[in-house]
Amino acid sequence: MRRPDGGLRLRASDADRSATVELLQDAVARGLLTHDEGAERMAAAFAARFRDELPVLTEDLPQDGLPVAVAAPVGWHVLGSSLVAQVRHELSAGLAAGPWGRRFVAALGVAFLLGLLVTLAGLGVHGLFAEAFDL
């Protein structure tokens, strides 16, 4: 089959289609495409008969050499704040449901376990376990 410019259209192999689908899956994983848009493009890639149909599906995506903005890693302070906020929310929701409701008891148990873990970690960091148990 010939292209409009007179050149031959080469058939796409399974490897060609798979390579395009991998690029699209990566784009969905990085948030460059929505799941629906990625699914549509992947379906088009699997249905492609010729090689010249594949680059159109990825031409608006950044190439390997171009950096994509990456979110800064979450620090311990942000993670700890989120955990405290979640426990507070669960406790207040549990209190609203009643002090002996399942949610309140579960939230209280989680808060107790987290407090215990933080205390034990603090003791371990300061070496108090070694002194207490003559290690």
pLDDT tens across 12-21, in order? 999 999 999 9
Amino acid at site 81? S
Domain count, the chain: 2
Q: Quick check: helix, strand or coil at residue 12?
A: coil
Q: Is there a single domain that holds both residue 90 and residue 34? A: no
pLDDT above 70 (res 132): no
Q: How confident is the model at residue 103 (pLDDT cuts 50, 70, 90)?
A: confident
Q: How confident is the model at residue 84 (pLDDT cuts 50, 70, 90)?
A: confident
Average pLDDT, the chain: 80
> Do residues 24 and 41 lie in contact, with contact meaning Cβ atoms separated by under 8 Å?
yes
pLDDT at 12: 93
Q: Is there a single domain that holds both residue 93 and residue 50? A: no
* Residue closest to 45 by CA, chosen among 59, 34, 32: 59
The angle at the Cα of 106, spanning 103 to 109, to the nearest 5 degrees, equals: 150
> Do residues 2 and 50 lie in contact, with contact meaning Cβ atoms separated by under 8 Å?
no
Amino acid at site 128? L
Q: Is there a single domain that holds both residue 86 and residue 63? A: no
Residue bearing the bigger pLDDT, 1 or 57: 57
